[in-house]
Amino acid sequence: MSILFVLLTFIVIITVNYFRVREPRGVPISPAVPVRAPAPVMTREHGFSIPQGYSFHPGHTWVAREGREDVRVGLDSFTADVVGRIDEMEIVGPNRWVRQGQRLMTLKADGVSLDLLAPVEGVVMAINQDVVKDPMLALRDPYKDGWIALLRSPDLPTNEKNLMRQSMVAPWMHYSLSRLTASLPKNPALAQDGGVPVHGVLLQLEPELRQKLIKDFFLN
């Protein structure tokens, strides 16, 4: 009888421990990515402020590593300058899998919609609720507090091969700005001193030209 009692006690202990440490199916155990964004180290290159360690998608979104598979993503300063204002932002929901180059968010202002693409593929782990409440935060501080989402990207090294990184970033930004300037009509109202496009120029263009630039620069 005492042997049976010991066996039953042992079985109960094993069962309790199993359910206490058992990982929910499909949810990997890994450290949580901090929601507060670290301040990036900024350098000045070719007249642009470049966050060190960030990689950039051709559609003008960025990604920053925060772990072996965890990354933070957002929109770049080119987007912030060209768009100028956001009335509403729609972001794909948590637990959604997005592919590299797939729509991650939609910016809306004055009836104009602009899709921005995921710089890498992965599952959306968290959304920055501050930019949901105040979309203009993404334009005021695109590389820190204006981040958009946290992703878990298991194939990150492969995805990074399709991005602009390190010494490629500043020349690419300079090229983007030159292309934009050349694409605009010769209108003083659309340029600052030196011919640099004004803040929010996208919303000031005729619809046909606006859609062409959205396709060319944001790959919509």
- Tens digits of per-residue pLDDT, 90-109? 999 999 999 999 999 999 99
**6: confidence class by pLDDT, cuts 50, 70, 90:** very low
- Contact between 97 and 123 under an 8 Å Cβ cutoff? The reply is yes
Q: What φ, ψ does residue 72 adopt, rounded to 5°?
A: -115, 140
Sign of the alpha-carbon torsion through 118, 48, 132, 220: negative
What is the distance, to the nearest Å, from the Cα of residue 212 to the centroid of all Cα atoms in its chain? 23
pLDDT the model gives residue 193:
66
What tens digit of pLDDT does each residue of 75-93 get? 999 999 999 999 999 999 9
Fold classification of 34-220 is OB fold (Dihydrolipoamide Acetyltransferase, E2P) (2.40.50)
SS3 148: coil
* Cα gap 102→165, rounded to integer Å: 20
**Residue ranges of domains in the chain:** 34-220
pTM of the model: 0.83
